[in-house]
Amino acid sequence: MSDELIIYIVYVIPLVLVLFFYTRRHRVRHKVHKETLKENVASGLTEPATLHPVIDPNICIGSGGCLKACPEHAMGIIHGKGVLISPANCIGHGACAFSCPVGAIKLVFGTEKRGVDIPMVTPNFESNIPGIFIAGELGGMGLIRKAVEQGKQAMDSIQKRGRSKTPHDVVIIGAGPAGMSATLTAKHHGLRSVTLEQEDTFGGTTLHYPRGKVVMTAPMNLPLVGKINIKETTKEQLMQLWEGVVAKTGIKINFSERMEKIEQQGDAFKVTTSRGSYETQSVLLCIGRRGTPRKLGVSGENLEKVVYRLLDPEQYRGKHVLVVGGGDAALEAAVAISNEPGTHVTLSYRSNAFSRVKPKNRKLADEASKAGQLTILLESTVKEIRPKSVLLDQKGDAIELHNDAVIICAGGILPTPFLKEIGVMVETRYGT
């Protein structure tokens, strides 16, 4: 065999093969990411919720570091540059920015089109209203560990205000990571506190993660509990962790009690809730940014069978279920339940088309409808919810359906108008 042939076999062919597969992989990736971006633009899912990355294409070298670092699959590479291809998936923890080898990514709040309201707080988490404190994601920064740390620090600041003349030293609103940590810290300091949570359990946003979601966090210190040494976990393990914390420390949370109003009374506050009222020297708002689920305001909505989120489709096996809404959450819930054996699912939406949803969800809903698994009632509204049925109106026709459960996915009432109403100063950020 000639030397030239040996060089060709040993070096040139492997090199050509490597180049071929490398280029093909990148071409496929480029195509997939471009498609994802196109799909999200078509569905109107172009605005990130809060903190998110902005990539400088002049600095980006297309290393793909951000892509690997992003656990929410929000980043992509198009034409060799990093792009936020699924803005609505971004939770703003900044792993992409930290992973970028050339510093091409910066994290900003809001976009040119849509401003994000961030309450103005001092370094000790107090708002412009003395006695009203803000911790966790409501303050702008997402992430479990940050919420936990801020809940603790805000409560340390509240403790420094000293004993109050009011029955409570502090009312903590919200039992997500920030509220849980604040509640533990209040107990640790011996403060007279009460924690209110509008939902029927703790965990806040973490409770709403999809089943089995991988949760990225960092080791954190929980007051009364000690160091929690986790970096990567699942939603289910995280919920077990919160349950263990409550069992170990005996902290008490008033579930299904929603804060409705905060009024200043001299140096103190009156917090009115769905169940009563509390007089307190300080208020700590740990209410996150998801807001309060929007209600339909119909008779029977307070029945136990009515919920505002889907946790486990399996629980609806063999049942007649009504899902209300026309967004992705409603379609995903209706399709997931319709896939469970023995279910009779109806999806009611007031408009004549599902216009602002992911094409994938629209397709799945259409398929379930064609397969007879799901009944879609467009241009329909719920008139009344009864213990064993629901009354709907569709273009003037009254419809009564047998019903065991109602899931309302009608969006949420965001917390910022409430902040402005009580006088908390907020700053609107447009991509800064």
Ligand X SMILES: Cc1cc2nc3c(=O)[nH]c(=O)nc-3n(C[C@H](O)[C@H](O)[C@H](O)COP(=O)(O)OP(=O)(O)OC[C@H]3O[C@@H](n4cnc5c(N)ncnc54)[C@H](O)[C@@H]3O)c2cc1C
Question: In this structure, what are the phi and psi dihedrals at residue 158, rounded to the nearest 5 degrees?
Answer: -65, -40
Binds ligand X by CB under 6 A, chosen from 117, 126, 137, 328: 137
Name the binder of 168 from ligand SF4, ligand X, none, CB < 5-8 A by kind. Answer: none
CA distance between the termini of the chain: 65
Q: What is the dihedral of CA 419, 423, 424, 426, to 10 degrees?
A: 80
In 56-182, the DSSP E strands lie at 75-78, 81-84, 105-109, 116-119, 132-134, 168-173
- Per-residue CA distances from 346 to 297, 305, 385, 402, 407 (Å): 20, 15, 14, 10, 10
Q: Site map for ligand X, 54-73, x if CB under 6 A?
A: -----------------x--
424 binds ligand SF4 per the rule CB under 6 A: no
Q: If contact means CB under 5 to 8 A according to the sort of partner, which of ligand SF4, ligand X, none does residue 75 touch? A: ligand SF4
| 357 interacts with ligand X by CB under 6 A | no
* C-beta separation of 292 from 258 below 8 A: yes
Give the nearest distance from C-beta 29 to ligand SF4 in angstroms.
16
Instruction: Please provide residue 13's backbone torsions phi and psi, each rounded to the nearest 5 degrees.
Output: -60, -50
- 8-state DSSP, 160: T
> What does residue 387 show for φ and ψ, rounded to 5 degrees?
-55, -35
Query: Which one of residues 67, 96, 121, 405 is an interface residue with ligand SF4 (CB under 6 A)?
Result: 96
Q: How far is the CB of 214 from ligand SF4 (least distance, A)?
A: 12
CB atoms within 10 A of CB 237: 11
**Closer to ligand SF4 by Cβ: residue 62 or 293:** 62
**CA–CA separation, 334 and 364 (whole Å):** 10
Among 119, 288, 313, 326, binds ligand X (CB under 6 A): 288
Contacting ligand X within 148-177 (CB under 6 A): 173-177
Binding residue (CB under 6 A) for ligand X from 126, 197, 328, 332: 197
Q: Does 93 bind ligand SF4 (CB under 6 A)?
A: yes
Read off the tokens for 403.
Answer: 């019903």
Residue 144 interacting with ligand SF4 (CB under 6 A): no
Smallest Cα–Cα separation from 166: which of 244, 270, 74, 96? Answer: 270
Near ligand X by CB under 6 A: residue from 53, 131, 136, 325? 136
By the rule CB under 6 A, 75 interacts with ligand SF4: yes
At closest approach, how far in Å is the CB of 104 from ligand SF4? 12
Residue numbers at the binding site for ligand X (CB under 6 A): 71, 91, 93, 136-137, 142-145, 147, 173-179, 196-199, 204-206, 209, 215-217, 258-259, 286-288, 290, 292
